[in-house]
Amino acid sequence: MTIYINDQIKLELTNASQADVLFNAIDNNRKHLSAFLPWVDRMQSVNDLKEYIEASKVLIQQQKEMSFAILFEQVVVGRIGLHHLNRLNKSGAIGYWLVKEAEGKGIITKSCKAVINYGFNELGLHRIEIKAAVHNLRSQAVPEKLNFKKEGILRQAELVNNEFLDLVLYSLLRHELDV
């Protein structure tokens, strides 16, 4: 499955053929990504990423997540997904990461719009959340641009680099959709 956003950006459902390029993107941006993401240190080899992708495929089959590689001008520059899908409560959470060189081009905001539309219109979700570390201002700017509501701070909610980070919780409800 592929979601075409524009001539430069597309989202491809995560698959094993992307393992090498995704690992290289992570490995070449390790310092940048590890500042706010707890899983970076666990990705020490292509095989680690292949195992992660296999686990993601199971979650996709169980309808618990949808995850995509982000391609910009045909180059993999990150990932985005709807995670923690809860069919009973019709909710999910968007997570994303992007290589440093691709920042500032609107790639994540446009990718989020596509994933939001997919979540509300294809999956029938009612609520979508985005969480961002309180010090990750770039990540917080995304839900703010997309008219998410800031609900509050989740205190010491994520362990990153042996330190518990506070997270800002944002949400968007289906009837608030303006993307």
5-38 pLDDT per residue, tens = 999 999 999 888 888 999 999 999 888 888 788 7
Angstrom distance (rounded) from CA 52 to CA 46: 10
| Res 61: pLDDT | 87
What sign has the CA pseudo-torsion 26, 43, 55, 143?
Answer: negative
| One CATH from 3.40.630.30, 3.10.310.10, 3.90.110.10, 3.40.470.10 for 2-126 | 3.40.630.30
Domain assignments of the chain as residue spans, ordered by start: 2-126
Per-residue three-class SS string for 85-130: EECCCCEEEEEEEECHHHCCCCHHHHHHHHHHHHHHHHCCCCEEEE
Contacts of 126 (CB under 8 A, 6+ apart): 89, 90, 91, 173, 174
82-123 pLDDT per residue, tens = 999 999 999 999 999 999 999 999 999 999 999 999 999 999
